[in-house]
Amino acid sequence: MWIPLTLREVRAITHYLGVLTIGLGFAMSVPLVTAVLFGEWNPALDYLVGIAVACALGTLLMLADVTRPAISHRQAFLISPLAWLIASAVAAVPLALSGNYAGYLDAAFETVSGLTTSGLTLVQDLDHMAHSHNMWRHLTHLIGGQGIIVAAVSLAVGLKGGGAFSLYLAEGRDERILPNVVHSARFIWVVTAIWVLVGTVVLGVANLVQGMAFSRAGLHAFWITVAAYDTGGFAPQSLSTMYYRSGVFELLTVFLMLAGAMNFNLHADLWRGDYREIFKNIEARTLFGNMAILAGFAGAGLAATHFYSANSELLRKGLYHIISANTGTGHQTLYAGQWKDLGSVAFFAVILAMAFGGMVSSTAGGIKSLRVGVILKSILLEVRRMLSPDSAAVRTSFHHLTDRELTPQLVSTALTVFVIYIATYLAGGLIGAAYGYNLDAALFESISATANVGLSTGITSPTMPTGLKVTYMVLMWAGRLEFFTLMALGFAIVISLRPKRIVR
């Protein structure tokens, strides 16, 4: 039975959307301070307007219910997608005023891409962008990567009732790390802070060695760290990570990308000193096995084209882009137009790497290696059943944090998500092709958007059709929330739009 939303529920949802909007306004104080520190007075006003919009809109939304209502499970699943939508809309205000975007839609595309940690960009003249605007672009990765809701839950901003865990789940996270969900959310931020600090220092030193001035070395290091660790993919220069012209720099970003694609539960195990988990865990084994196989294909494909003459170049370019794609980061050391030079084998290896994605409960997108591992296990189980005597009860188990039996329910859930992802990848590709782009390039771009990767063949640009911009925005949003939350929102709106059914 479909139960329409009550007016009281709608008011509670609106109230908490207001709370989250104000929280986003507070986050804009970071680029505001950056603008003041670097004397960027016009961008400073862009952020003042952004904060004012967030405060005004947030306080008005909060007026919908002043009783500090509790959140139910189903309300949580409606707050989450709407929070991402409102956050993207409000976060786009200062960028739209920056002059680096063709209009508000392009700025909104950028914030959807930033918050979902996709990394596809419509920015213009990035190489002349103000530090404060770059700070905000990369902060959207940090806020979105850890989760807008996780940020709110970790601060426990006015959340009442048992809805905190539901909100946490609704944001595309499958499992809590610690028994208490608030502690889980805070743990995510602590782990992130450590990685970001270490990454910034190490990349900062690498930049200084390369000859960058101190302030620029530090800022660039922080931005690239955030973009790599949050598997985002934005960069402060139009050449992405190729700008830094350093193999060491690329290697360091590889470590950050891999750390970002790791399940926060694995981070917790490493934190506790349990290093064996990473070798036993089905997710980790699937992810690294997948990367090794696809890197092999990419390397062989590249070698066949003779595009790169040295093995070290094959390894550097092949491995970097497979890891960037598989972790869902999207940093690239190639021009968008160069993908066609790499041959179809390497090209499709990158497509598959993007489609599979990183681990669950990480900052990465895509189908996720746990589901791929479960599906592979179930295929092996079926083969074993076929080869076993009729009387044999064939079962199998896998290790993911604990030893678990592979049940039909688990396989069914994994296959459902797998099928939805594949259908969305194909649908996005067909829409791109319908706009006149090559099907392979359109498929690449669709998977990149849906799996929140950010690698691009060049389709994503300020000149692409408006309909395609909106399509990719929806794909990034749906992919980040893993579809079900979005479907819940869609059905709730449809069944509640019949006024006589709203229970007062």
Establish if 130 lies at the interface with other proteins (CB under 8 A): yes
Distance in angstroms (rounded) separating the CA atoms of residues 324 and 328: 6
3-state secondary structure of 349: helix
Nearer to other proteins, 244 or 297 (CB): 244
**127 near other proteins (CB under 8 A):** yes
**Nearest residue (CB) to other proteins, 53 versus 153:** 53
Nearest distance, CB of residue 6 and other proteins, angstroms: 18
The residue within the footprint of other proteins, chosen from 62, 349, 372, 481 (CB under 8 A), is: 62
Region of 185-193, 232-240, 276-284, 416-424 interacting with other proteins (CB under 8 A): 232-240
Which one, 59 or 413, has the nearer CB to other proteins? 59
307 binds other proteins (CB under 8 A): yes
What is the distance, to the nearest Å, from the Cα of residue 453 to the centroid of all Cα atoms in its chain? 7
Secondary structure, 3-state, 163-199? HHHHHHHHCCCCCCCCCCHHHHHHHHHHHHHHHHHHH
Nearest to 457 by CA among 365, 350, 363: 350
Identity at 333, one-letter amino acid code: T
DSSP letter assigned to residue 48:
H
Among the residue ranges 101-109, 156-164, 240-248, 390-398, the one whose residues contact other proteins (CB under 8 A): 240-248
Nearer to other proteins, 247 or 296 (CB): 247
> Scanning residues 38 to 57, which ones bind other proteins (CB under 8 A)?
40-46, 48-49, 51-53, 55-56
Span between the terminal Cα atoms of the chain, in Å: 19
Instruction: Tell me: does residue 335 bind other proteins (CB under 8 A).
Output: yes
Told to check if 237 binds other proteins by CB under 8 A, we report: yes
Site for other proteins in 194-213 (CB under 8 A): 209-213
Query: What DSSP string describes 213-249?
Result: -HHHHHHHHHHHHHHHHTT----SSTTGGGGG--HHH
Residue 156 backbone dihedrals phi, psi, to 5 degrees? 50, 45
Inter-residue contact 345 to 307 (CB < 8 Å): no
- Exactly one of 7, 60, 190, 383 binds other proteins (CB under 8 A); that residue is 60
Choice between 238 and 413, CB closer to other proteins: 238
Q: Does 338 contact other proteins by CB under 8 A?
A: yes
User: Considering the rule CB under 8 A, would residue 257 count as an interface residue with other proteins?
Assistant: no
Residues 74, 487 contacting (CB under 8 angstroms) = no
Q: Which of 77, 244, 418, 444 binds other proteins (CB under 8 A)?
A: 244
> Does 308 contact other proteins by CB under 8 A?
yes
Q: Give the shortest CB-198-to-other proteins separation in angstroms.
A: 23
Q: How many residues bind other proteins (CB under 8 A)?
A: 59
Binding mask 68-107 for other proteins (x = CB under 8 A): -----------------------------x----------
The residue range among 152-160, 238-246, 287-295, 427-435 that interacts with other proteins, by the rule CB under 8 A, is 238-246
Minimum CB separation of residue 25 from other proteins in Å reads: 9
**Under 8 Å between Cβ of 208 and 225:** no
d(CA 263, CA 274): 14
Q: Does 475 sit near other proteins (CB under 8 A)?
A: no
Which residues from 152-181 bind other proteins, rule CB under 8 A?
A: none
Q: Are 361 and 377 in contact (CB under 8 A)?
A: no
Burial of 14 (0-12, 13-18, 19+ CB in 10 A): middle
Supply 260's token pair: 């970002």
Place of tokens 């976060």: 91
**CB-neighbour burial class of residue 395 (10 A; exposed 0-12, middle 13-18, buried 19+):** exposed
Token pair listed for 423: 């259908």
CB of 335 to other proteins, least distance (A): 5
**C-alpha closest to that of 81 among 498, 476, 496:** 476
User: Which parts of this chain interact with other proteins (CB under 8 A)?
Assistant: 40-46, 48-49, 51-53, 55-56, 58-60, 62-63, 66-67, 97, 124-125, 127-131, 209-213, 216, 237-239, 242-247, 307-310, 312-314, 316-317, 333-335, 337-338, 341
